[in-house]
Amino acid sequence: MGIIEQFTGCTISPHKCRCFEKLSDEEQKILAEKSVIVKYKKGEIICKQGSFASHVMYMENGLAKVFIDNGFDTLVLKIIPDGNMLGLSSLSDENDKFQYSAMAYIDSEIKLMDIIYFKQLLSQNSAFAKEIIDIMSNNSVQINGRFFCLTHKQSYGRLADILICLSDRIFKTNEFVLPLSRKDLAGLSGMSSETVIRMLKKFHDDGIIKLEGKNFKILDHSRLKRISEKG
Amino acid sequence: MGIIEQFTGCTISPHKCRCFEKLSDEEQKILAEKSVIVKYKKGEIICKQGSFASHVMYMENGLAKVFIDNGFDTLVLKIIPDGNMLGLSSLSDENDKFQYSAMAYIDSEIKLMDIIYFKQLLSQNSAFAKEIIDIMSNNSVQINGRFFCLTHKQSYGRLADILICLSDRIFKTNEFVLPLSRKDLAGLSGMSSETVIRMLKKFHDDGIIKLEGKNFKILDHSRLKRISEKG
DNA sequence: AAATAAACCTGATTCAGATCATTTATTTCA
DNA sequence: TGAAATAAATGATCTGAATCAGGTTTATTT
């Protein structure tokens, strides 16, 4: 069997977005002219699945979720923290609509870049295109890991994953104020909010985390890790 | 709420792979020199998750599944029919390993293209790179649909999806010999083989399909479609 | 500050689908 | 061709987590 691969429900790509470095000064200047920075308040919709994609986005600072829905159910595909791109899957000429919706978890600043010029950059600057391919392939690895996690781990493992992700990759500290509601956590870990609440209580009672309202702290990181791993 | 989007567990991308048309005669010639066609027998492993990715692949003819596993469980990400690319997510410089395994469902012929030259083509021919981006974004849309389906539809809907996919997109006829075992179908629809067997029997008894051994026929396509849609 | 709404919590119930245990059919290959 | 292995089928049982129903606390609005 060999090495046992570990998949997590965390969807923060470790990939650093380096694509803009590949642009010439001139290209950067034009791109800047063709871009605007827009502020979104917590809870605001950033883009809507099915609507015409007139731009590609870059999260300057903030936190958002990317999700799809069929009118009844919702699936959170990934979280977008600082320095991540949004809307790349609309670069295909066949998919000129947004393939997913995005919503700000907290107040966020997002750069909107004209998609026509962005596509032109892809065609004229292959180093840039190569970087975009890199980002997309990293994204797909990330999504696949989350896919595996949500279909094969059970609830405790999935919730542990999300908590570890928030702590390790987003806030980079053991103690923080949860910006997400229990319902948000439920969406992220693919379960009902009642179940999330029960499990958080269990983690709390077991001394794995400390949770009072929105004040959150991981007390036993290695135990949480073990729960995440054994699913 | 607007239009209600339909997601299916089918993972055959409708996208036609046009990337090679974008290469010059010279580039095509060199690529051909750097490629080999390999025949895989039913059940053979085409690439192995975690091993070094020395090439990008193209399915000349055959049928394969792409899957990830953690040593215990397996998740089928997609099916690869004729004319599809395989291994694109290893184009990123950070992911020089195969991100997934692939196995031939039936005897298949696959073109293996040297990944170094393939990457060079991306860097020197931006129209080619743009086509690869198109393929990748179509792939991600496809995977997201499957992700939604496996996490939000229940078993009958998921199985119906797979049967419709096989019929409409792969064999393009209502009646064919199933190349997949019940266990394969279980893997594809993310459930146990016992459940698959029971549900196939139900579909059969209800007159929706006809199934004797491996001989398969869809009798009531619209009813199957309805089952797929309502989950 | 009162009214309303939203988020949070808890217990009871239910159920889809997994798992387990066997039996029967079909392949495989010695 | 016959033994062993694999795949298919079926029944019985179990369980993780959803759903439902109700209550409490915390935010928001007026």
Task: Encode pLDDT of A134-191 as tens digits.
Answer: 999 999 999 999 999 999 999 999 999 999 999 999 999 999 999 999 999 999 999 9
d(CA B153, CA A78): 20
Q: Which nucleotide is nearest to B43 (CA to C1')?
A: D6
Strand partners, A86: A57
**CA B151 / C1′ C18 distance in Å:** 16
pLDDT at residue B132 greater than cutoff 80: yes
- Give me the DSSP letters along B156-206: HHHHHHHHHHIIIIII-SSEEE--S-HHHHHHHHTS-HHHHHHHHHHHHHT
Q: Cα angle at B78 between B15 and B184, to 5 degrees?
A: 135
Report the distance from CA of residue A78 to the C1' of nucleotide D18 in Å, as an integer: 23
Which pLDDT score, from 0 to 100, does residue A1 have? 35
Nearest-CA distance B73 → chain A (Å): 7
* pLDDT surpasses 90 at B129: yes
Query: Measured from the CB, is B42 under 7 Å from any atom of strand D?
Result: no
Average pLDDT over all residues of chain B: 92
- The yes-or-no verdict on residue A2 having pLDDT over 60 is no
DSSP string, B111-146: EEEEHHHHHHHHHH-HHHHHHHHHHHHHHHHHHHHH
Report all structural domains of chain A as residue ranges with CATH numbers, in order of start. Answer: 19-148 (2.60.120.10), 153-230 (1.10.10.10)
- The pLDDT of B77-98, averaged and rounded, is 92
What token pair was written down for A159?
A: 């919730």
Contact: A70, B2; criterion CB under 8 Å: no
Cα angle value A37/A19/B92 (rounded, 5°) = 140
Paired tokens of B188: 């594809």
Chain D: positions less than 7 Å from a protein CB are 7-12, 16-21, 26-27
Strand-strand pairing, B101-114 and A101-104: unpaired
User: Quick one: which of B173, B167, B87 has its CA closest to B132?
Assistant: B87
Confirm if B23 and B34 have CB atoms less than 8 A apart. no
A139 touches chain B (CB under 8 A): yes
Question: What would the pLDDT profile of A52-107 be if each residue is shown by its tens digit?
Answer: 999 999 999 999 999 999 888 999 999 999 999 999 999 988 888 999 999 999 99
Neighbours of A23 (CB within 10 A): 17
| One-letter amino acid for residue B85 of the chain | M
Residue A8: its pLDDT value, please?
86
Give the bridge partners for B38, in sequence order: B110
* Percentage with pLDDT > 90 across chain B: 84
Cross-chain Cβ contact B92/A6 below 8 Å: no
| DSSP characters over B28-78 | HHHHHHTEEEEEE-TT-EEE-TTSB--EEEEEEEEEEEEEEE-SS-EEEEE
pLDDT(B117) > 80: yes
Note the pLDDT of residue B4.
57
Closest to A49 (Cα-Cα) out of A73, A28, A70: A70
Predicted pLDDT at A215: 93
Q: Does B15 touch chain A (CB under 8 A)?
A: yes
Query: Residue B153: which of A113, A72, A173, A136 has the closest Cα?
Result: A72
The continuous run of DSSP H or E covering B79 comes out as strand B74-80
pLDDT at B95: 84
Do the Cβ atoms of B190 and A3 come within 8 Å? no
B70 and A124 in contact by Cβ < 8 A?
Answer: no
Q: Is any atom of strand C within 7 angstroms of residue A179's beta carbon?
A: no
**Contact criterion met (CB < 8 Å) for A147 and B148:** no
Q: Give the Cα separation of A28 and A11 in Å (integer).
A: 29
Q: Rounded to the nearest 5 degrees, what angle is found at the Cα of B21, between the Cα atoms of B15 and B22?
A: 100
Chain C: nucleotides below 7 Å from protein CB are 7-12, 16-21, 26-27
Q: Assess contact for B3 and B123: CB atoms under 8 A.
A: no
Q: Which of B153, B195, A146, A68 is nearest to B164 (CA)?
A: B153
User: Hey, is B26 helix, strand or coil?
Assistant: helix
Model confidence over B174-225: pLDDT tens digits? 999 999 999 999 999 999 999 999 999 999 999 999 999 899 999 999 999 9
Establish whether the CB of B106 is closer than 7 Å to any nucleic acid atom in strand C. no
The residues in A 148-177 lying below 8 A from B, measured between CB atoms, are: 148, 150-152
pLDDT in tens, B4-53: 567 888 777 767 788 999 999 999 999 999 999 999 999 999 999 999 99
Question: Which tokens hold the place of B148?
Answer: 């939604």
The pLDDT of residue A16: 75
Which of A34-38, A121-125, A227-231, B169-173 is the least confident region? A227-231
Reported confidence tier of residue A4, pLDDT bands at 50, 70, 90: low
